[in-house]
Structure 1
Amino acid sequence: MNSTRARNMMAMVQKQSGNIGASLATILFVWAILKDHFPSILNNYIKKHFHKLVRFVSPYIDITFHEQGETFSQNEAFSAIKSYLSTKASSWASSFKADFIKQSKSLILSVDDHEEVIDEFHGVKVWWVLENKQKHSKTQEKMYFKLSFLRRHREFIAGSYIDHVINEGKALALKNRQKRMYTNTPCIDWNNWKIKWNCVYFDHPATFDTLAMESKKKEEIMNDLKKFSEAKEYYAKIGKAWKRGYLLYGPPGTGKSTMIAAMANFLNYDVYDLELTIVKNNRELRSLLNYTSSKSLIVMEDIDCSLNLTGQRQSKSDSESKSNEVTLSGLLNFIDGLCSASGAERIVVFTTNHVDKLDPALIRRGRMDKHIEMSYCCFEAFKVLAKNYLDIDSHELFAEIDSLLAETNMTPADVAENIIPKSREEEDNIADSCLKNLIKALKEVKPVKGEEEERV
């Protein structure tokens, strides 16, 4: 048993120590055989100082890239390295992790734990290994990549090679990007970013083409989003954080959530669905912001219902005494305070059914830069729905529907519900049947002339 252990340790030392390794391995081999005859204190002393000697004379250097950064947030370098090594794993590794990317309809291979991947750049060879360690038995495993290379290549690796890996990895990640939707959870261990946000793949089919809205308004929003996504140098020039606020307001059923999905698909951004009611205080709110990534939409739906944000801001003493609450002041700092500048290329989206109930300070320009009214269904929006649901561009009943929509407040959600076939009999003449259902519903909603005069 001692001989087997010694051979394994000798092989490890030979790999790390080059020409000097043979001599050190011989010493280690002898020590492994005889160590059972030494007192435990002496064994520990020899082991401790032998490892120091190996590190001192070894021609190799190791650099580690942890999954979590120094502030316990996700390390972008780790993600970039993971993407970069996915292109190398198939050539060198014998064990992989595979993930299916729906948009690209292909498998993405990544390095498995403890599996070594060899890379070569401008004639310099390096070794990558994905490792994990547990700081305490009750905590989750923390992953890190270990990069090993010859000491004489230190400047080249620390400069050109690592820059190459990070840039290539980010480009690959963007190419194979699969959008995700994150939701915050009540958190116990706030030192672990993974349990602050739960995530699933974001696969909502909504686009601006299928969004029930006037084409001119959609074009205006798309132009604004495109301009924002390409404005990195502009924001740096004017000295502002690269972020933008959107306020979507209107009655229920007017497509606010669908608009958010269309925005995410248009920009290819992740979505962070922030539920304010389970955030304990302003400190946790700031912490959640720190764990969001670039290229993301941070969404707070029904902001008027989430918190009591309709009154005046509390004084400092009042807010400090209520340390278990998210205050209006805390939310304002979240949007455009110093902590909001910790990331880049992020859009904050508020939705509300009652914009008049919100504190003006919350939705002023500069915080919510663009206000978008999500209104009742107009005829142009109806034609989009007719194309989506019935695959028709025109029909003899369209003129009557146009007239009724001009005099009736019906949401796009209600219009869509009325043009969905309700039975198999309707499928024989689907367009006629569904449009007649809609006309009937519009006539029931539309008040007769006498009722209108009485209400006035």
Structure 2
Amino acid sequence: MAPMVEWLPWFGSAVASAIFLWSMVQNHVPDTLRLYLTTRAAKLAACFNPYHEITISEYGAKRFQRSEFFLAVEAYLSDACAHHARRLKAELGKDSKNPQITVDDHEEVTDDFSGTTLWWYASKQQSKANVISIYPGRDEKRFYRVVFHRRHRELVVGSYLPFVLSKVRAVTINNRQRRLFTNNAGGSWNPHRAKSVWSHIAFEHPATFDTLAMDPDQKEAIINDLMAFQEGKEYYAKVGKAWKRGYLLYGPPGTGKSTMIAAMANFLDYDVYDLELTAVKNNTELRKLFIETTGKSIIVIEDIDCSADLTGKRHKDKKASGDKESDDDDRPKLPMEPEKDDDTKVTLSGLLNFIDGLWSACGGERIIIFTTNHKEKLDPALIRRGRMDKHIEMSYCRFEGFKVLAKNYMDVVEHELFGEIQQLLEEIDMSPADVAENLMPMSKKKKRDPDVCLAGLIKVLKQAKEDAAAAKAKEEEEAKEAEAKKAKDKKEGEAKKDEGKDKALEEANGDLIKQGDK
């Protein structure tokens, strides 16, 4: 201890002398020489420093956008390393459903990768006072710095940083708020402003496959198909196909087609793009809409048979429209007169290219869904395999679907009236929506008795059965009347025909008699 005490005054004197000499150097040594000495000193110190560092700035080449790499590192540290930090901050990011906990500024966290320890620093640097920033909110420069031993340089650059980018995608998808998009009518397209072609709200539909009234085997087959698609990126690349899949949902109204779409989106955790074809001006605009969609999304065109005239035929030549229309085309247009839209419609060819053309391969992990009440009205080219890969019939409610509804609406799994209901559902075509309406409680305060609900459903089913029988009897009676009328008309026609023949024969005989008299 004594030698150390004797050494301390000498050390303090040396430090004071060094500080004094450095101040003298700054005052008397030229700036160029001082910069050279500082640079050489830094290089000399670096030779003895075994650690390297990589800095990721908040703003890179795109001055108006935050660096995607910076956001990826921020999301990764919040998920993988934030539990090591003592100082954190919470933010609710854009399109995020949960608060994002991130590492606070000037905080250090460690990470381990393949047995290698890395140190992350969240830093912030104040801009110089005499520099005026032209970008709002850029007075402070934030960045992340990762420090590692120089012998792990190839591991960090070649493996660790790509791992961070791949890992963060799943983190971002799980944390973000899923959205329901719709296309804007007549919106001008701007590649830097997605809002010009799509607008969105939060997607909060509660439907799941557990609440979907459908045959369990069919439901399981759909779930397996969706899982195979979601995990099939390498397979699709191997067979040379775009990573997309088409589903055609067809069936009568009220059979759950829209609910099926919501259940798919919730199962896959995908965004939903509800495409309204009547608001699309032409094929070019349809293509631009597709480009603006993102991966991990479902593109939906509901009631495809009613959405637009998809014949793909050109309009008739204007010359065949009449002199009046030709004269109208030749006259000058008034300033406020709207343009004609004869050549601004989505055609069948344009829609086919949208589904299965070259542009459909832009991006990946997309599902395209068409719904229709009348499958037979659709062009076969539109729904062939390869475009609509899987056809799903959404049929009337049967007993297996009813049991799901009874469990959802009344928490009833077994009941003595189930047998009668099963028999009636096999005989009567009733949509799941109509069945569910009879199982819902009358109010929030008063919960309906399952006995009353099921008895009411039986009454409705029996009435529907009687109405169906009456309608069938009426149809048969009308068919008999039509057949009888047809037979009567045929008989009267034959009688008139025979009468005409007799009259013609009499006239011929009369002509012969007159000739004989002459």
TM-score, with normalisation over the residues of structure 1?
Answer: 0.70
- 2:92 maps to 98
- 2:179 maps to 180
- 1:434 maps to 453
Q: Secondary structure of 2:248's match?
A: strand
- 2:484 maps to none
CA spacing shift, 1:205–1:102, aligned 2, 3 Å: farther
CA spacing shift, 1:199–1:67, aligned 2, 3 Å: farther
CA spacing shift, 1:110–1:148, aligned 2, 3 Å: closer
Which runs of structure 2 are paired with 1:37-76 in the superposition (5 Å)?
none
Q: Deviations over 1:60-110 (max 9, x none)?
A: 9987787999xx99997576345225457895988652359998xx63135
Q: Distance in 2 between matches of 1:333 and 1:86?
A: 42
- Contact 2:57–2:70 (8 Å) recurs in 1: no
Which runs of structure 2 are paired with 1:318-357 in the superposition (5 Å)?
324-357=344-377
CA spacing shift, 1:74–1:68, aligned 2, 3 Å: farther
Q: Secondary structure of 2:242's match?
A: coil
**Percent identity (aligned):** 51
Q: Distance in 1 between matches of 2:471 and 2:200?
A: 51
For residue 454 of structure 1, report the CA deviation from its aligned partner: 3.5
Q: Distance in 1 between matches of 2:419 and 2:308?
A: 44
For residue 439 of structure 1, report the CA deviation from its aligned partner: 1.8
CA spacing shift, 1:214–1:237, aligned 2, 3 Å: same
2:496 paired with 1:452: no
For residue 282 of structure 1, report the CA deviation from its aligned partner: 2.1
For residue 277 of structure 1, report the CA deviation from its aligned partner: 2.3
CA spacing shift, 1:118–1:390, aligned 2, 3 Å: same
CA spacing shift, 1:102–1:239, aligned 2, 3 Å: closer
2:405 paired with 1:385: yes
- Contact 1:241–1:341 (8 Å) recurs in 2: yes
- Contact 1:387–1:393 (8 Å) recurs in 2: yes
CA spacing shift, 1:279–1:435, aligned 2, 3 Å: same
Q: Distance in 2 between matches of 1:237 and 1:449?
A: 56
Unpaired stretches in structure 1, ≥5 consecutive residues:
1-21, 28-56, 131-135
CA spacing shift, 1:453–1:220, aligned 2, 3 Å: same
Unpaired stretches in structure 2, ≥5 consecutive residues:
1-21, 28-41, 47-52, 112-116, 126-133, 319-340, 477-518
What is the letter of the counterpart of residue 291 of structure 1? E
- 1:190 maps to 190
- Contact 1:248–1:351 (8 Å) recurs in 2: yes
Which runs of structure 2 are paired with 1:134-173 in the superposition (5 Å)?
159-160=158-159, 162-173=161-172
Q: Distance in 1 between matches of 2:156 and 2:94?
A: 32
Match of 1:367 among 387, 390, 395: 387
- 1:229 maps to 230
Match of 1:417 among 417, 437, 440: 437
- Contact 2:181–2:274 (8 Å) recurs in 1: yes
Aligned-residue CA RMSD (Å): 4.6
Match of 2:462 among 423, 443, 455: 443
- 2:269 maps to 268
TM-score, with normalisation over the residues of structure 2?
Answer: 0.62
- Contact 2:243–2:366 (8 Å) recurs in 1: yes
Larger-Rg structure: 2
For residue 231 of structure 1, report the CA deviation from its aligned partner: 1.6
Q: Deviations over 1:166-188 (max 9, x none)?
A: 12322422443543322232433
Q: Distance in 2 between matches of 1:203 and 1:182?
A: 12
Q: Secondary structure of 1:343's match?
A: coil
